[in-house]
Amino acid sequence: MNVSMTINGEAVSREVEARTLLVHFIREDLDLTGTKIGCDTSQCGACTIHVNGKIAKACTLLAAQADGADITTIEGLAENGEHHPMQTAFWENHGLQCGYCTPGMIMASAAFVRDNPGASEDEIRHYLEGNICRCTGYHNIVKAVKQVADAAAGGA
């Protein structure tokens, strides 16, 4: 079957098997390998992307379900060669250890702060419950997200 969608601002169209998962479509058909596969059971959040602005676990959606959707992956978060503030904050706070969960963490956090500027640490931790860091490096991740959340509230 044919699926067409917009990924990181670019229109794409491919012939795929109906059973193609969105994460495989992104990684294997489009060669956008920033989106990771961790648990493959919608628990760990390594595959988190934005589908029409909402966070989604790409391992638990079919490419067919995203037909016509507007998708953003970690590769599309930077604009005009400038990191997204969440990427910068993860860099500044060392919000990563091995880095495998990082694309999903950043995608989830970016959506959260967009919708919840000024979020508290508790709210950040609650929201990120679907993103698991197997290095257990949560403190710096939360610090990074809080930095962006505070800045977003200050600018509002």
Q: How far is 68 from 70, CA to CA, in rounded Å? A: 7
User: In this complex, which beta carbon is closest to another protein, that of residue 93 or of residue 131?
Assistant: 131
Q: Which of 128, 121, 131, 122 shows the shortest CA–CA distance to 38?
A: 131
Q: Does 43 bind another protein (CB under 8 A)?
A: yes
Residue 64 near another protein by CB under 8 A: yes
Shortest distance (Å) from residue 18 CB to another protein: 4
Smallest gap from Cβ 132 to another protein, in A, equals: 9
The answer to whether 110 contacts another protein (rule: CB under 8 A) is no
Beta bridge partners of 50: 55, 72
* CB-count exposure of residue 75 (10 Å: 0-12, 13-18, 19+): middle
- The answer to the question of residue 24 lying near another protein (CB under 8 A) is yes
Nearer to another protein, 44 or 96 (CB): 44
Residue 58: closest CA among 40, 32, 84: 40
Contact between 116 and another protein by CB under 8 A: the answer reads no
Alpha helices for 116-137 (secondary structure H): 121-127
Token look-up 């999903």 returns 104
Nearer of residues 89 and 107 to another protein, judged by Cβ: 107
The contact set with another protein (CB under 8 A) reads: 1, 17-21, 24, 40-43, 45, 48, 51, 54-57, 60-62, 64-65, 67, 108, 112, 127, 129-131
